[in-house]
Amino acid sequence: MPRTRRNDPAELIRLALSGIDAQIAELRDTRAQLATMIGQTPSISPEITPAPRKPRKLSDAARAKLSAAAKARWERERTAKSQKLKTPSKKRESKGTPAKTRPDTADAKKGKPKSPTPVRKAKTGKAK
């Protein structure tokens, strides 16, 4: 077997095709030999190809309907795109600063800075 480049898929496919072609040729030879043994003429069957399609012929009315439908479809697409561009994006709108960063209005009015942690007053009562 011939050496190939390891990661070249085109080369691998080329080798696979050449192997298949060799097998097909061998099978055709075997078929011809068997056909002559039973008295048939060894004929190679032509490749089956579908008949070419004829283009469809549309009436003028059908062509007009198709054209109108396509124009309506494209018009819907255009209007949908323009509507998407006109509508504002639905990002979450902020309602000002969050509550944690807002100063307490009662303390702010008094002029006292709010401490980050609440301070507890120690009990000054006498122990019994």
Residues ≥6 apart with Cβ < 8 Å to 108: 114
Q: What one-character-per-residue DSSP string does 19-44 give?
A: HHHHHHHHHHHHHHHHHHHTT----P
Per-residue pLDDT of the chain (128 residues; tens, 9 = 90+): 556 566 788 888 989 999 999 999 999 889 888 888 888 776 656 566 677 888 888 899 999 999 999 999 999 999 988 887 766 655 555 566 655 665 555 555 555 555 566 556 666 655 55
pTM for the model: 0.30
How high is the pLDDT of residue 84?
Answer: 78
How high is the pLDDT of residue 81?
Answer: 85
Q: Which of 90, 118, 120 lies closest to 104, judged by CA?
A: 118
Q: Which of 78, 59, 80, 82 lies closest to 70, judged by CA?
A: 78
Q: 35-57: per-residue pLDDT in tens? A: 888 887 766 565 666 778 888 88
How high is the pLDDT of residue 18?
Answer: 93
Residues ≥6 apart with Cβ < 8 Å to 31: 42
d(CA 13, CA 21): 12
Residue 60: in which H helix or E strand, if any?
A: helix 60-86
How high is the pLDDT of residue 41?
Answer: 74
d(CA 30, CA 44): 12
